[in-house]
Amino acid sequence: MPPAPSGVAERGPAETLRALGVSRSFAGIVALNEVTLELHRQEVVGLIGPNGAGKSTLVNVISGFDTPDTGVVELGGVEITGLPPHRLGRIGLARTFQQGHAFPRLPVRENVEVSALGVGAPPGEARARADRILSVLELSHVANQPAGTLPHGHQRKLGVARALATSPRFILLDEPAAGLNDAEIPDFLVVIRSMRDDHGVGVLLIDHNVSLIMSACDRIHVLDQGTMIAQGTPEEISRDPDVATAYLGTTRA
């Protein structure tokens, strides 16, 4: 096994989600070029890059919404490449979506219960799980409110609650801070850290809010034009000249 990336202790495959040498093209346009990413349980890893860098494509490949042209995805040392999302949910992989995908007319509690039921939890356990998660995320006061009536910040928390209801080992958070105002970011940072520290989940955080990424993440991967150009601790990434070049929009040598 190659050395662990900077800032990471060696861990066994049972605690690891991996994308290995993943490539994906669309009509001849390369979206991902032999991308490798590793996520462990109980850590938060950031995935950043300019628009069109390939972040959403990578998340779709890992979460079963797309299939790579080459490369594999492994969860717990077992290949899961191309498995449908509902099967991945039952073996410990959850994701959120930029659009939320909640059932707007159902109460908040029932939205969370549905996620638990979808991975095989009995009805009583699903309701108990929903109540526990809503309490942790400070959403109990809106549990009986239709999901579609929630303010934007609560909608984002509900997406996380639904993912946690599947009792995942790993969660992919796709632009969870999009639309949040500056006052809401600190509360959301607490939620992300709680997933890692209180639930033992490995979190892949994809977001354009660099301040959130730098504060929340143990490690960061940077994509540009489908290629992984950097990975390391927040401090290392903040000093990386290739990262600065990618975000400034100039061409790398």
What's the average model confidence in pLDDT over 53-69?
95
Q: Note the pLDDT of residue 248.
A: 62
Burial-class residue 30 by CB neighbours within 10 Å (0-12, 13-18, 19+).
middle
Tell me the three state secondary structure of residue 129.
Answer: helix
Q: pLDDT-derived band of residue 246, with 50, 70 and 90 as boundaries?
A: confident
Q: Is residue 2 scored above 90 in pLDDT? A: no
What's the average model confidence in pLDDT over 26-49?
95
What's the average model confidence in pLDDT over 93-116?
89
Whole-Å CA distances, 104 to 110, 148, 162? 11, 4, 13
AA identity, residue 133:
I
- Locus of tokens 């995942």: 168
Q: Note the pLDDT of residue 253.
A: 39
Q: Note the pLDDT of residue 252.
A: 44
Facing residues of 78 across strands?
75
Reported pTM:
0.86
Give dist(CA 228, CA 225) in Å, integer. Answer: 8
Q: Note the pLDDT of residue 13.
A: 58
Tell me the three state secondary structure of residue 10.
Answer: coil
Percent of the chain having pLDDT more than 70?
Answer: 91
What is the DSSP track for 27-57? TTEEEEEEEEEEEETT-EEEEE-STTSSHHH
Element (H, E) at 111: helix 108-118
What pLDDT, in 10s, does the model give residues 134-155? 998 889 999 999 999 998 888 8
Q: What domains can you pick out in the chain, each with its CATH number?
A: 1-92+168-253 (3.40.50.300), 96-167 (no CATH)
Q: Note the pLDDT of residue 9.
A: 43
